Amino acid sequence: MDVVLEHVGKQFGRVTAVEGVSLTVGEGELVALLGPSGCGKSTTLFLVAGLYRPTSGRILFGGRVVNDATPQERGVGMVFQSYALYPHLTVFENIAFPLRVRRSRGAQIAERVRRVADLVGIAELLPRRPAQLSGGQQQRVALCRALVKEPAVLLLDEPLSNLDARLREATRAEIRRLQRELGITTLFVSHDQAEALSIADRVGVMHGGRLIAVMTPADLYERPPSRFIAEFIGTPPMNFLEARVEDGRLAVAGVMPRPLAHPVPPGTYLLGVRPEHLELAADGDLRAEVFLVEQMGREWLVHAACGDASLRLLTGAGAAVAVGSRVSLRLLWRRAHLFDSQSGAAVPFGLADDPR
Amino acid sequence: MGALEAAPAPRRRGAVRDVLRGAASPVLFLGPAVLLIAALFLAPAVVTVVISLTNLSVATGLTHYRWIGVANYGQIAHSPWLVLVLRNTVLYVAATLVLFNVGFALVLAILTAHLSERAAGVFRVLWMLPRITPSVILALMWRWFAAEPPYGTVSQVLGLVGIPGHNWMNAHPWAFVVALNGFVGASFGMIIFSSAIAGIPRDQYLAAQVDGASAWQQVWRITLPRLRWPILFVTAYQTLSLLTSFEYILLTTNGGPGFYTTEVWSLYAFHLALSNYFGNTQFGLGAALAAVLVVLGLGASLVYLRVFRFGELVAAPRIEVN
C-alpha cells in the first residue's frame, strides 16, 4: 500500500509543527525522514500513524483519504523510540496485545505471535518480562508487536537511537532485511544521517516543519539542493568558502579567479567543498596552516586555517602534515558546490578550464 | 621475636576502634527513629495489652484493680453484641473502601488524568477540602445537610418536588456514615493514584492506540495493572485507618440510630473504655477490644499482601545483556 501526503500541516494551538508536507512513499518502499530535533519529523510520523489529525492537507493510504481514520482503521504498526513495552506483561503478551484488543481467538493469537517471534528471532524470550531484556531484545519485541497484526504500513520512530553503536548497525541491517522480506511500506524517522542514508530507499530532509528535499541517499550527498542540506549531510561536514562571480569568473578568497564554462549571475556565493575533495598538493589552489590533526584510524582529519576560514580535509593515515606547518591544498572543482549566499539554493556551475 | 609479638597490640586496638565505629554509625542513624517508635508505638501497644489483662475501671481506680488474665477476651468472645459489632465493622470498612477510598479515588484519578494540568489541580484541591476541614465542623455540616424539615438541605430540595422530608441520616444511617467517611478518604487514594498514573509513560498509551485499544481497554489493560502496587498500599493503609477511626460516626450517628445500628469496633471500644453511659468506664475491657482490633488489622494486611502477590511486586528484575 502506498502512502501519500498532500500539503499536510499540523498546528498545536498557535504553534505550527508541520507545514505543507507533500510526500509519496511507494508500495514496499522505505523512506526515512531526517532532520534535527524539533524539525517536525516525529509529528509527521504521528500524523501518518493517525495519532494526530492534520489541520490541513490530505493523507491517503492506497488512494483512500484517511485524515479522520484511527490508527486501527489505517492498519499501521509502529515502533516507538522508547519501545513503549508494557512492563507488567510478558513478551508474549506484549506481542499479543494488538490481537487481544481486537479479540482474536486464543489459538490464532498464539500461532501468529510465535510466527513473528521466529521471524525476528526472539522465540526463546516469549516468557520473559521487558525488565528482563536488554535494550536490543526490547527493540526486537517492539518490532514484533508492530508486525504481528500484519500492518499495511510500518512506522519507526527513532527505533535505533537507544542502542549502542555496534548493536545499532546490526539492528539497522536486520530491519532492512525484514522490511525487504515482507515488502512492507515503511516510514522511518531519524536524526542520525548515517542511519537514514544507510537504511532508506529515499530520504526526506525536514527543517523547521517543512520537508525541504526527498532524494535518494546518493543524490542527497552528491547533489545537495541547498546549503542547509549540504551542511547537514556528511561527516565531517562540508567546508564553505566565500566566493564572488564577476565578469564570468569565479573568485574564491585566496584563490586565483577561474573562468566559468557557463554564465552564472554575478553576485556573492558560497563554495562548498567536502573534506574528501581537498587534497594536499605541491601546487594547490589554496595555502593554509595546519592547526589540528585528528587521527581517526583509516584516515586523518586535518584542520587548517585559510585566511578567516577554517578548513577540514581528509588525508590518508600517515600524511606529511604537522601542526603549525603550511600546506598547499588542491580543490577538486568538479566535486565542489556553489550556493547562493542569500537563498542558499544550489547553483550549477562549471569551470571553463576544468569542465565537469 | 619480642618486637614481632609486641606489634599486634596497637593494631588490635585499632581494630576495636574500627568495630566500635562500625557499630556506632548504625546506632546513631537508627537511634532517633527507634526511640520514637518505641515511645509512641511500642510502649502504648505494650501498655494496652497489659491493661487488657486487668479489670481496671473507674470503679477500681489505679489502686484496687486485679489481674484477671484473659477474662476480658473471654467476655468479648461471649458478648451478645460481638457478631453485630463485627458485622458493622466489616460493612463500614468494606463499603467505604470499595466505594470511595479505592473505587471513587480511582475514578477521580483516571478522570483527572485526562484533564489539563490546571483543571485537574483545581478539581483535586476541591476533593482535598473535606480532609482539611475540621472533623467536628464537617460532621455538623452533614447533620444539618441531612436534618428534618425545615432545616435540612436534602429535605428542602426534595420538598420542592413533593417528596416528604424527614431526618435522612436516621432513615439511611449507613449511607451517610459510608459517604461521609468516603468523601474524606477518597482524596488520599486520588492523590496516590494520580501520581502513579502520571508516572506511566505517554508512549504506552500511544502504542496502545496504534494497536487499536479503546479508551476503556487502555484503562483496563495499561492503567489498572500499573496501579496494583498503589492500590495495595491504599487498600491496606485505609483499612487500618478506617478500622481505628470512629470520629465521624461518633459525631453523626454515635453508633445509632437505635441500638448499635452503626456501632463499629473502635467506637464500641471507645464507648466501653472512655465514655460509658453508666459512668463506669472499663479501661481493661476497652484495651482488650483495642488489642483485638490490632490483630484484625494485621490479619487483613496479611491477606492483602497475599491477594496482591506482594512478593512478586518487589522481586528483583533479572537483566541479561547481549
- Compute the radius of gyration of chain B from its Cα atoms: 27
Q: Complex ipTM, two decimals? A: 0.81
**Contact criterion met (CB < 8 Å) for A51 and B217:** no
- Of A217 and B123, the one with more pLDDT: A217
Whether residues B101 and B231 fall in one domain: yes
Chain B: residues touching A (Cβ < 8 Å): 201, 203-204, 206-214, 217, 221-222, 225-226, 228, 317-322
Q: Whole-angstrom Cα distance, residue A67 to residue A9?
A: 11
Mean pLDDT of chain B: 80
> Same structural domain for residues B167 and B21?
no
- Bridge partners of A59, per DSSP, are A5
Residues B42 and B164 grouped into a single domain: no
Average pLDDT (B171-191) is: 83
Place of cell 475514578: B107
Please tell me the predicted confidence (pLDDT) of residue B277.
Answer: 61
Report the distance separating Cα A84 and Cα A99, nearest Å.
17
Whole-number pLDDT of residue A277 = 92
Work out the minimum CA distance from B209 to partner chain A, whole angstroms. Answer: 7
Q: Where are the alpha helices (DSSP H) in chain A?
A: 41-49, 71-74, 91-101, 106-120, 135-147, 165-182, 193-199, 217-222, 227-232
CB spacing of B211 vs A145 below 8 angstroms: yes
pLDDT at B64 over 80: no
Nearest to A80 among B203, B212, B317 (CB): B203
Closest chain A CA to residue B318: A132
Q: Report the distance separating Cα A71 and Cα A99, nearest Å.
A: 14
DSSP state of A186: E
The reply to whether B10 and B126 lie within a common domain is no
- With cut-offs at 50, 70 and 90, classify the pLDDT of residue B320: very low
B38 and B102 belong to one structural domain: no
Does B60 reside within a domain?
A: no
pLDDT for position B285: 81
Q: In what order do the strands lie in the sheet with A15-25?
A: A15-25, A3-12, A56-61, A64-65
**Is residue B37 in a domain?**
yes
What would the mean pLDDT of B62-82 be, rounded to a whole number?
Answer: 78
CATH code (residue B297):
1.10.3720.10
| B107: in domain | yes
Task: Please state, in angstroms and as integers, the Cα–Cα distance from residue A32 to each residue in A18, A197, B288, following that order.
Answer: 16, 8, 74
Provide the pLDDT confidence category of residue B4 given band limits of 50, 70 and 90: very low
Residues B289 and B203 both lie in one domain? yes
Is B63 within a domain?
Answer: no
B322 confidence band (pLDDT: 50, 70, 90): very low
Q: Which residue of A has its CA nearest to B224?
A: A88
- Residue B69 forms part of a structural domain: no
Residue in chain B nearest A128 by alpha carbon:
B318
Residues in chain B with CB shorter than 8 Å from the CB of A133 are 319-320
Of A82, A101, A133, the CB nearest to B211: A101
Low-confidence ranges of chain A (pLDDT < 50): none
Question: How many beta-carbon pairs below 8 A join chains A and B?
Answer: 75
Q: Which of A83, A101, A149 sits opposite B217 (nearest CB)?
A: A101
> Chain A: residue nearest B205 by CA?
A84
Tell whether B74 is covered by a domain. Answer: no
Residue B156 inside a domain? The answer is yes
The x, y and z cell numbers of residue B148, run together, are: 428534618
CB-CB neighbors (< 8 A) of A100 in chain B: 221
pLDDT at B314 over 90: no
Residue B6 banded pLDDT, cuts 50, 70, 90: very low
pLDDT number for residue B2: 45
Judgement on whether residues B136 and B265 belong to the same structural domain of the protein: yes
Same domain membership, residue B302 and residue B213: yes
The mean per-residue pLDDT over the stretch B141-146 comes to 80
Yes or no, beta carbons of A86 and B204 under 8 Å apart: yes
pLDDT band at B15 (very low <50, low <70, confident <90, very high): low
> What is the pLDDT, as a whole number, of residue B250?
80
Q: Tell me, yes or no, whether B255 lies in a domain.
A: yes
- Determine the pLDDT at residue A85: 92
B231-245 average pLDDT score: 86
pLDDT in tens, B192-224: 898 888 888 888 999 999 998 888 899 899 888
CA atoms within 13 A on the CB side of B95: 15
d(CA B320, CA A131): 9
pLDDT (0 to 100) of residue B119? 83
Which of A98-102, B94-98, B119-123 is the least confident region?
B119-123
Number of structural domains (chain B) is 2
Q: Does residue B20 register a pLDDT over 70?
A: no
Same domain flag for B132 and B247:
yes
Between CA A80 and CA B168 the distance in angstroms is 55
Domain that holds residue B35: 2-52
- The verdict on B279 and B226 lying in the same domain is yes
In angstroms, rounded to a whole number, what is the distance separating the alpha carbons of residues A79 and A67? 21
- CB B201 to CB A84 under 8 A? yes
Answer yes or no: do B173 and B250 share one domain: yes
Contacts of A347 (CB under 8 A, 6+ apart): A264, A269, A338, A339, A340
Q: B95 with B210, same domain?
A: yes
